[in-house]
Amino acid sequence: MGSGGSIPSGGGMKQRFGDETEDPDGDSDVAIGRRSLSRLAQRKRKKRRIQLIILLGTIITVSFLIFACVWWPGFRERIYRPFKWIGERVSSLWSSHEKPPRPVDEILFINPINGQEHEGKWINTLSVIKDNQGVVHALLYISYDREEGSTSFFWIPEGIKGKSSEGKDISLAEAIRASGGKLTTLRNLVESMVGEKIHYIVLIDLMDLPEIYERVGAPGMIVEAKTEVYNPFTGEKEKMYEGQNLRDKSSVLSYLLAEGEPGKYKARVDRGSRYLLEMLKKFAEKEETEIKGALEDIAPMISLTPAPGEDSEKARYLGAMVYAWGYQASEGINCLSVPEIEILNGCGIPGAGLRVKERFEAKGFEVSEAGKNAKVIQDGREVNDFSHKKSMIIIHSQDKLIQAYARYLAVIFSIPEVEYAEGEPGKIKVIVGSDLAQP
């Protein structure tokens, strides 16, 4: 069995394995090792090339960003916004979705001249847009309730007339120019109209509006219906179409001011109220440092009366105002307009209502309807009511500003009585009695 077997000798096995280890191109340990070292060296060279490319790309990108931030205004903010958005979304995963409310800056309640605290429940501000000739283009009265933290915005038609200190008829639009650039006449007229003291007047020049708009990062606006407005910044008429997305600052501001448009006041109230809400919401989302920086930029372009000594202090007052006004913006804001005036003949003298309408319009008050007779219910039927010897005003709103406006009308036209009755809040009825009907 030992002599007939076919098992090779030990020397033959050693020789075969020895031959394989000496083969440089085979599967020997040496060959495998050499190939591994070669692949490792290739990977290292490839890694170094990638690192070099990344380094060069980083240097080029950083150099470009530095150049762009230096030479292109606003580029830094555009770069910052997406990273800020990503950061806010990431942080919101483990933080509360509700932003903790900031307290209203107490500086709003302090007179910047004498340092005394303003008295009363409301802090009232008149915001004015005027041109370099002193002519008023828009008026917004803002009343902040310091106890409830709520705000009312009252859009005032600048064409309404009142009495100057000399007893002459003067419109709000002409008040600054007629008083030699002073604000006393305008302040007195508006205070008579709203029945409250004005604590601050914010005065903005019309031609500074586009730059202010850009610096605060104001949003664009969608045109709701085809219209044509006068663009005071270009001096030309501008056509706008339904659904048009206005982004150009000049076009957005022209659309809001509604200069030269029929029904300018109503259009301004409708658009301005919507836009104001969006603006206040946008400001509420901004960081406090971002708002502060924007307000410090625009402070030199805004006149605040009474005036703090420094622009930085003025910016703080403006910031306190904006935050207070927008404190409840997420729940909507209370925007008021002067009610429509309906004139009814309550004395039976033919044409009395139309003649009174002319007197109202001559003093800048828009009348929506005139010529109808006053009515009363008798025996279940509606009949003409010509029993009024004294004229009267009937209001359907319990808002303090609307009631004050009705009393202002009564004073201007010597109407002895103002009453409240249930009805449409956006209307005021003037019942013409015999006293007002005379030519």
Domain boundaries, the chain: 29-92, 106-337, 340-437
Q: What digits encode the pLDDT tens for the residues 323-382?
A: 889 877 777 788 999 999 999 999 999 999 999 999 999 999 999 999 899 988 888 888
Q: How far is the C-alpha of 229 from the C-alpha of 236, rounded, in Å?
A: 9
Task: For domain 106-337, give the fold.
Answer: Aminopeptidase (3.40.630)
Q: Which residues, 6 or more positions from 248, have their beta carbon under 8 angstroms from its beta carbon?
A: none
Residue 375's SS3 state is strand
Q: Judge contact between 153 and 163, C-beta under 8 A.
A: no
Residue 61 has pLDDT above 50, yes or no: yes
Q: What digits encode the pLDDT tens for the residues 238-253?
A: 999 999 999 899 999 9
Residue 178 has pLDDT above 60, yes or no: yes
Q: What digits encode the pLDDT tens for the residues 182-230?
A: 899 999 999 999 999 999 999 999 999 999 999 988 889 999 999 999 9
Residues belonging to the chain: 439
Q: How far is the C-alpha of 433 from the C-alpha of 63, rounded, in Å?
A: 79
340-437 maps to which CATH number?
3.30.70
| pTM strictly above 0.85 | no
Q: Judge contact between 369 and 343, C-beta under 8 A.
A: yes
- How many other C-beta atoms can be found within 10 angstroms of the C-beta atom of residue 224? 15
